[in-house]
Amino acid sequence: MHFAIPVAAALLASAHGASAAYNLVREYSGSSFFDGWEFYGNYDNLTNGDVNFVSAANASSEKLAYVNDAGKVIITVDNTTSVTYNNKRDSVRVATTDYFPVGSVILFDATHLPYGCSVWPSFWTKGINWPAGGEIDIIEAVNLMTYNQMALHTNAGCTQPSGVNQTGATSATDCGTTSGCTVAEQQSNSVGAGFASAGGGVWAAQFDSSGIFIWFWTRNSVPSSVSSATNSIDTSSWGTPSAAYPSSSCNINNFFTAQQLVIDITLCGDWAGAASIYQSTCGGDGTATACYLNNVINTPVNYTNAYFEISYVKVFSTTNDVLVPTVSGTNTVLVTDTATSTASKSSASSTSTSGSDSSGGSNGAAMTGAKAYAAIAGATVVAALSFVLF
């Protein structure tokens, strides 16, 4: 696969800690937060969770996704409906309409993360041809786990090398396996009740040609370079990340296309509902149905904590290119998003729309007035996907 990443960005980006200029390209916060996200509107056919990911209209009418009086974004599981046997519970999966190329830094600030038996929340990213094009799991935990698990998922050939400079504990190094290359956060209060009582915290994910690096700071340790970052951000003073996936054993430009951000909460399913996983923190009779029968159906007994409370999601970039899918003939390609309405600031609006820009992909010639990026080599397969659902 060849991804037409801007050459200049690939050459300029160096090891994390180098002071590349990352400028704000998107801020999702406050009353306009959901303008930049699409609701899945289908049952969980991705991880076999026992939820219906509702439409935007249903999320609004059921109060499953809203901005509260304090200006914080709430994304939650339905914790009031009595669900009958064989049915699923309503929940939310949202994904950004925009895609962010290699050369981006993503911040996620929350004061509460979903937790509880059967609950499986995640903040993660994916390429347009996912699972091809890579996946970065920034926040993920299930049931009553007490630590965040970070991961990459890729096609075969990407690994995390041994002896990396990170504070987390590696549990698997092959990013091409089903479970991915995983790193367990070692700092306290990264998820669950501990995260909430500490006042939450902030994650930063640097998606760079030199590697992918994830930092976590509990509330009272968030550096001022993060909490006060407005128009630009400097990663150079952040020190050792929680998880480090240097490009030495994973060519980021080969394994990762531009990434879309996803926030979701599912219930049970492949990870939270696996019999031994569920039993390890939530007990029960150890059967494959324990997660569903003890939690999802009937009057909800304990989804009181199954919600995100998010202060903001911000994306900074070395390229200023924020991309959106568009159909070009039989291909779906990513082109520069020139819309300004989805965020409080959009550098994309000032990006040149000249099709002659040298960073354009090979499909650029087919696009008029827009910089085009090939989403995949031989992208005919993409035409089968319905982007409306993402």
Ligand X SMILES: *[C@@H]1O[C@H](CO)[C@@H](O)[C@H](O)[C@H]1NC(C)=O
Give the residue numbers marked as catalytic.
Answer: 135, 140
Q: Examine residue 304 and tell whether it contacts ligand X (CB under 6 A).
A: yes
Closest CB to ligand X among residues 64, 322:
64
As measured in angstroms, the least distance from the Cβ of 366 to ligand X is 25
As measured in angstroms, the least distance from the Cβ of 362 to ligand X is 27
Q: Examine residue 116 and tell whether it contacts ligand X (CB under 6 A).
A: yes
Site string for ligand X, 81-100 (x = CB under 6 A): --------------------
Q: Examine residue 359 and tell whether it contacts ligand X (CB under 6 A).
A: no
- CA distances to 133, 259, 278, 313, 390 from 106, in Å: 18, 11, 31, 7, 19
Closest CB to ligand X among residues 27, 78:
78
Give kind and range of the element (H or E) at residue 42: strand 42-43
- CA distances to 88, 106, 200 from 222, in Å: 38, 15, 10
Site string for ligand X, 33-72 (x = CB under 6 A): --------xx--xx-----x-xx--x--------------
Q: What is the DSSP string of 118-162?
A: TEEEEEEEE-TTTTTT-EEEEEE--TT-SS-EEEEE-STT-BPPT
As measured in angstroms, the least distance from the Cβ of 65 to ligand X is 11
Q: Which two tokens stand for residue 242?
A: 């929680």
* Contact range with ligand X by CB under 6 A, out of 250-258, 288-296, 298-306, 327-335: 298-306
Residues touching ligand X: how many (CB under 6 A)?
Answer: 23
As measured in angstroms, the least distance from the Cβ of 79 to ligand X is 4
Q: Which amino acid is at 59?
A: A
Specify the residue for token string 């800690």.
Answer: 17
Beta strands at 104-112 and 93-100: parallel, antiparallel or unpaired: unpaired
As measured in angstroms, the least distance from the Cβ of 85 to ligand X is 18
β-partners of residue 333 are 326
Closest CB to ligand X among residues 46, 339:
46
Q: Examine residue 111 and tell whether it contacts ligand X (CB under 6 A).
A: no
Closest CB to ligand X among residues 143, 363:
143
Nearest CA among 207, 208, 206, 211 for reference residue 248: 211
Q: Are 297 and 291 in contact (CB under 8 A)?
A: no
Q: Examine residue 178 and tell whether it contacts ligand X (CB under 6 A).
A: no
Give kind and range of the element (H or E) at residue 277: helix 275-282
As measured in angstroms, the least distance from the Cβ of 180 to ligand X is 17
Q: Examine residue 76 and tell whether it contacts ligand X (CB under 6 A).
A: yes
Residues 362-381 contacting ligand X, CB under 6 A: none
* Interacting residue with ligand X among 111, 254, 305, 326 (CB under 6 A): 305
* Interacting residue with ligand X among 14, 48, 80, 352 (CB under 6 A): 80
Q: Examine residue 17 and tell whether it contacts ligand X (CB under 6 A).
A: yes
Q: In 3-state terms, what secondary structure has residue 276?
A: helix
Site string for ligand X, 150-169 (x = CB under 6 A): ---------------x----
d(CA 237, CA 17): 7
Beta strands at 307-317 and 73-76: parallel, antiparallel or unpaired: antiparallel
**281 burial type by CB count under 10 A (0-12 exposed, 13-18 middle, 19+ buried):** middle
Nearest CA among 251, 253, 259, 221 for reference residue 237: 221
Closest CB to ligand X among residues 339, 389:
389
* Interacting residue with ligand X among 86, 220, 368, 386 (CB under 6 A): 386
Q: Which two tokens stand for residue 204?
A: 């930063």
As measured in angstroms, the least distance from the Cβ of 320 to ligand X is 26
User: Which positions lie near ligand X, rule CB under 6 A?
Assistant: 17, 41-42, 45-46, 52, 54-55, 58, 76, 79-80, 115-116, 165, 239-240, 302, 304-305, 307, 386, 389
